[in-house]
């Protein structure tokens, strides 16, 4: 390539547009590039225009051709318009000041992100990619400066260092940024520009390896609630095994686990911790897990100070955090991602028992998403003594309830 590959001294002004930026004073392009026509000559594989019915599959490239203005009322082509309202005013100001532009019809084009002369780094972007500055300008909703802000906004945290490096799609990452999960021009087909397909949990398991065992369990809603839909209107098959319960960029602000399902007000007679109501949304008569509803679950908390190893049986603090002190909740005894607990005293996980169709598996004291196989060395024994194994095994059975016995006396 040379200057003459794109420029010619004999070019003419076309449709009054002498150059992409008047300040550059360079009208001699071989092909007018206001709509990215020149870029397309060499980079057709990097384009996925919403206006081209033959563009590559969804997810391979960040799309161009999207209008950055408000969609028409009742329009049938709303998918061709930016969904975030702040983008209905056009390209963010900072991108415009650094040379980013829209095409002649206020649609995204190559030059919205790339600057041919004076761009940042090898990708020649209008803003640096190192700290995802470019992404944040258009996608501020998905960004958080730390884990605290991420919880407040209801998004997956970014901009933090991993305890151990992970490998995703053959590339090693030591820090979580937008580009840990997303690839602007090399995403997997049918995904939101993801490096790995999310529908089988492969992407999430790169960091959340321990939770990958939910695959093929009763909590894999692709198998047990295939006709259900998450808050985004996706079926478990569309959202993937993790996306049926969690949404990375659209969680309810301030609520735990980035839940992706419609919450229901708890109306039971027994007192329930806020975190327990997450489980009871499904494990109730009208819920997705109505056949496995939980009616007896409460444990006395008043006048008790419980202490437990949070790695084995975490307790729930008054601020709804898992830790060493607090009250007993569903997650104290259950791990919703693992059907069978590891062998007693060992770290090696037990092979999972997949769901068999038709009908769900009936659990017992050795599985049913339990964290431990028994109560040995756990705080249950402190109060219940020799009765602890039976109390643990039949915790949800009405016959195992205290029956008027006050263990504090």
For 220, residues 6+ apart whose C-beta sits below 8 A from its C-beta are 214, 236, 241, 355
Confidence of residue 69 (pLDDT cuts 50, 70, 90): very high
Phi, psi of 108 (to 5 degrees): -65, 140
Output the average pLDDT for the chain: 85
- Which DSSP category does 72 fall into? P
Is the pLDDT confidence value at 328 over 70?
Answer: yes
For the residues 18-37, what does the mean pLDDT come to? 69
Please give the share of the chain, as a percent, with pLDDT higher than 90: 40
| CA atoms 177, 180, 181, 187: torsion sign | positive
> Under DSSP, is residue 237 helix (H, G, I), strand (E, B) or coil?
helix
Lowest mean pLDDT among 70-74, 277-281, 334-338, 354-358: 354-358
Residues 157-183 have pLDDT tens digits of: 988 899 999 999 999 999 999 999 999
pTM of the shown model: 0.84
Residues 363-403 have pLDDT tens digits of: 777 788 999 888 888 999 998 899 899 889 889 888 887 76
For the residues 327-335, what does the mean pLDDT come to? 94
Is the pLDDT confidence value at 209 over 80?
Answer: yes
Confidence of residue 404 (pLDDT cuts 50, 70, 90): low
Distance, in Å, from the CA atom of 188 to the CA atom of 206, rounded to the nearest integer, reads 16
At residue 256, the pLDDT reads 83
For the residues 326-338, what does the mean pLDDT come to? 94
SS (H, E, C) 100-121: CCECCCCEECHHHCECCCCCEC
> Under DSSP, is residue 203 helix (H, G, I), strand (E, B) or coil?
helix
Is the pLDDT confidence value at 219 over 80?
Answer: yes
Distance, in Å, from the CA atom of 58 to the CA atom of 53, rounded to the nearest integer, reads 11
Residues 79-103 have pLDDT tens digits of: 789 988 999 999 999 999 998 999 8
At residue 124, the pLDDT reads 93
Is the pLDDT confidence value at 276 over 70?
Answer: yes
For the residues 354-367, what does the mean pLDDT come to? 60
For the residues 327-331, what does the mean pLDDT come to? 94
Residues 100-155 have pLDDT tens digits of: 999 889 999 999 999 888 889 899 999 998 888 999 999 999 998 888 899 889 99
More confident residue, 352 or 398: 398
More confident residue, 13 or 395: 395
Through-space distance between the first and last CA atoms of the chain, rounded to whole angstroms: 87
More confident residue, 14 or 380: 380
Is residue 256 within 8 Å of 320, Cβ to Cβ? yes
Distance, in Å, from the CA atom of 96 to the CA atom of 88, rounded to the nearest integer, reads 15
At residue 75, the pLDDT reads 62
Is residue 231 within 8 Å of 260, Cβ to Cβ? yes
Is the pLDDT confidence value at 357 over 90?
Answer: no
Residues 227-263 have pLDDT tens digits of: 999 998 999 999 999 999 999 998 888 788 899 999 9
Distance, in Å, from the CA atom of 96 to the CA atom of 281, rounded to the nearest integer, reads 46
What are the sequence ranges of the domains in the chain?
1-70+79-133, 147-258, 275-409
Is the pLDDT confidence value at 58 over 90?
Answer: no
At residue 344, the pLDDT reads 59
Residues 299-319 have pLDDT tens digits of: 888 778 899 999 999 999 998
Which string of DSSP letters, residue by residue, matches 324-370? Answer: SEEB--HHHHB-TT-SSPPPTT--SPPPP----SSSPPPP-TT-TTB
Confidence of residue 26 (pLDDT cuts 50, 70, 90): low
């Amino acid at each position: 390539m040379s200057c003459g590959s794109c420029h010619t001294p004999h070019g003419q002004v076309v449709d009054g547009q002498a150059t992409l930026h008047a300040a550059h004073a360079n009208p001699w392009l071989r092909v007018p590039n206001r709509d990215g026509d020149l870029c397309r000559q060499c980079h057709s594989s990097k384009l996925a225009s919403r206006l081209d019915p033959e563009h590559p599959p969804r997810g391979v490239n960040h799309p161009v051709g999207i209008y950055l203005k408000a969609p028409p009322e009742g329009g049938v082509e709303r998918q061709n318009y930016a969904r975030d309202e702040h983008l209905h005013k056009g390209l963010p100001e900072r991108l415009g000041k650094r040379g980013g532009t829209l095409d002649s019809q206020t649609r995204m084009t190559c030059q919205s992100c790339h600057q041919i002369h004076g761009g940042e780094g090898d990708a020649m972007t209008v803003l640096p990619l190192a700290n995802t500055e470019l992404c944040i300008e258009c996608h501020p909703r998905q960004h958080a400066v730390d884990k605290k802000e991420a919880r407040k906004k209801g998004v997956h945290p970014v901009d933090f260092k991993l305890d151990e490096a992970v490998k995703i799609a053959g590339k090693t990452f030591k820090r979580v940024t937008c580009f840990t999960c997303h690839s602007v021009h090399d995403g997997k087909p049918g995904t939101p520009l993801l490096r790995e397909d999310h529908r089988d949990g492969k992407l999430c398991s790169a960091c959340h390896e321990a939770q990958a065992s939910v695959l093929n369990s009763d909590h894999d809603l692709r198998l047990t609630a295939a006709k259900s839909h998450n808050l985004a209107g996706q079926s478990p098959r569309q959202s993937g095994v993790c996306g049926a319960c969690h949404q990375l960029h659209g969680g309810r602000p301030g609520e735990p686990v980035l839940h992706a399902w419609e919450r229901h007000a708890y109306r039971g007679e027994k007192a329930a911790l806020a975190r327990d109501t997450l489980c009871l949304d499904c494990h109730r008569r009208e819920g997705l897990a109505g056949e496995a509803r939980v009616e007896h679950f409460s444990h006395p908390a008043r006048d008790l100070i419980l202490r437990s190893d949070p790695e084995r049986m975490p307790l729930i603090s008054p601020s709804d955090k898992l830790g060493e002190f607090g009250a007993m909740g569903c997650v104290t005894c259950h791990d919703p991602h693992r059907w069978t607990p590891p062998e007693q005293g060992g770290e090696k996980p037990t092979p999972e028992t997949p769901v068999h169709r038709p009908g769900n598996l009936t659990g017992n004291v050795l599985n049913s998403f339990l964290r431990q196989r028994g109560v040995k060395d756990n705080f249950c024994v402190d109060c219940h003594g020799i009765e602890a194994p039976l109390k643990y095994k039949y915790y949800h059975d009405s016959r195992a309830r205290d029956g008027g016995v006050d263990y504090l006396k």
